[in-house]
Amino acid sequence: MLAVLRNRVYRRLFTAQVIALTGTGLATVALSLLAYDIAGGNASAVLGTALAIKMIAYVVVSPVISSFADRISRRALLVSMDLARAAVALLLPFVTEVWQVYVLVFLLQAASAAFTPTFQATIPEVLPEQREYTRALSLSRLAYDLESLFSPALAAALLSLISYNWLFAGTAMGFLASGVLVVSVVLPFPEPVEKADGVFTKMAFGARLFLATPRLRALLALDLAVAAGGAMVIVNTVVLVRDDLGRSVNDVAWALGAYGAGSMLAALLLPRVLDRIADRTVMLPAAFTLAGVLGVLSSGVASTGGRWAWPALLGAWVLLGTASSVVLTPCGRLLRRSAAGRDLPAAFAAQFSLSHSCWLLTYPLAGWLASEAGMSVSAAALSVIALAAAITAVVVWPRRDPDRLDHVHSALPADHPHLLDAIPTSKGYRHGHDYRIDALHQRWPSPGRV
């Protein structure tokens, strides 16, 4: 897996990602503690709302930026977003009111919504070979796990020496270091697109790609299952640990670290598994695991009067992290299968935006239900959502899902270059190739139809 780091450009981009995400993980811990200081037992509701605002920024900003991404240097865009995020992080220690948290979270995540899809769309162009790209996806998954494993552990160590407000300074340093590393490499410029493609056309294409491609519809359902499990962890950990279990500030960081430990374990093991087993076979059972763990968590909290044993909570968080990573790691492979090279930025932006629409539902639901009805009800509701999402994914993702599909073009003229290898039939011109939704292929093929 580490062999892909021999590529100089990817090595520096990966290092930038690791450093920035380490800083982001520090901010996650600090933001939880800040919310607890401001709102006390209502911290779940405050965090749920703040994270819902984060998702609104992702859903709104990401497709807008992707529509302009082909006109902007990727390096300039990535660096400017790193600088913007660093500036906002430096303001967070001075927050004293809940509304200030909401405003700064929106600004910080709007910059991330521009940064992340652009970064993700660059990797398959830096590493075009499928085997290398698969390993890069696992490394990127490991990098994201630093936000929920190494960063909380580092935060726990730092909190014994400094107040949590200083963790935001570490976040800013991470973004600045990321910007320096991105500046040090030359990135491929986006492929030129036809002038006829307007801003709104490009914004809509990514969503249409997901709705028209069966495996991507299933991916969206799986994203909802992951969001259900992740929302329980990210929104409710601080109240579960501090109020329900009566444990220390440092234990909040360790609990978040347990979630990351499970995720990292899965990311380390998956590359070789994915060499032999289809993505569908790996991802669907993981989604059902998320629903099952949340259901057990709900029953456990209810049967113990709101208190779950500390080791049991850590174990549940490890399982949720593992299952989430098993679903998320192959996502880039599905997107790459489903979109042509020039459409990859739009595909990644759509995945970023649509997947975070799922979190927009689960974040506030997890927080508000925990505050108003209790942790057991919150976990039960999220378990039902994850189960429904997993069942949906099974239904909409065909068991047989080849790249090459035979299909018929009924509207193209006979001399169209795309039909060079096509065979005339009574319904049009029939041929087969790796099928992707684009200007010539508007719908997923069924017999005798395009």
Distance of CA 443 to the CA centre of its chain: 26
Using the structure block, give the residue that is written with the tokens 């029939």: 430
Q: Any long-range contacts for 32-37 (C-beta under 8 Å, 24+ apart)?
A: 32/237, 32/238, 32/252, 33/164, 33/238, 33/249, 33/252, 34/92, 34/95, 34/101, 34/164, 34/165, 35/101, 35/238, 36/238, 36/239, 36/242
Helix axes 214-239, 249-276, angle to 10 degrees: 160
d(CA 80, CA 129): 29
Instruction: Give the pLDDT confidence score for residue 288 in this predicted structure.
Output: 96
Instruction: Give the pLDDT confidence score for residue 192 in this predicted structure.
Output: 52
d(CA 107, CA 114): 11
Using the structure block, give the residue that is written with the tokens 């239900």: 369
d(CA 334, CA 350): 13
Instruction: Give the pLDDT confidence score for residue 195 in this predicted structure.
Output: 44
Residue 114, H or E segment: helix 98-126
Instruction: Give the pLDDT confidence score for residue 253 in this predicted structure.
Output: 78
Do residues 135 and 272 lie in contact, with contact meaning Cβ atoms separated by under 8 Å?
no
Instruction: Give the pLDDT confidence score for residue 450 in this predicted structure.
Output: 43
Angle, CA 260 vertex, CA 259 and CA 262 arms, to 5°: 70
Do residues 4 and 139 lie in contact, with contact meaning Cβ atoms separated by under 8 Å?
yes
Instruction: Give the pLDDT confidence score for residue 447 in this predicted structure.
Output: 47
SS (H, E, C) 95-111: CCCHHHHHHHHHHHHHH
First vs last C-alpha separation in the chain: 39
Q: What is the DSSP letter of 449?
A: B
Question: Among candidates 386, 387, 377, which has minimal Cα distance to 301?
Answer: 377
Question: Among candidates 364, 375, 144, 369, which has minimal Cα distance to 241?
Answer: 375
Q: What is the DSSP letter of 190?
A: P
d(CA 29, CA 412): 56
The identity of residue 3, as a single letter, is A
d(CA 104, CA 54): 10
Edge-to-edge strand order for the sheet containing 428-434? 404-409, 428-434, 423-425
Q: Which domains does the chain have, with CATH numbers?
A: 2-189+196-396 (1.20.1250.20), 402-450 (no CATH)
Print pLDDT tens along the chain (450 aa): 567 788 888 888 888 888 887 777 777 777 777 777 787 767 777 777 877 887 787 777 766 766 665 667 778 888 888 999 899 888 888 888 888 888 888 888 788 877 877 777 778 778 777 677 767 766 776 666 555 556 666 776 777 677 778 888 888 888 899 889 888 887 766 555 544 454 456 557 777 888 888 889 999 999 999 999 999 998 888 888 887 788 887 788 788 888 878 887 887 788 788 878 888 999 999 999 999 999 998 887 656 554 568 888 899 999 999 999 899 888 878 888 887 766 776 777 778 778 878 888 898 899 889 888 888 899 999 999 999 999 999 999 988 877 777 888 877 888 787 887 888 888 888 887 777 777 777 777 774 444
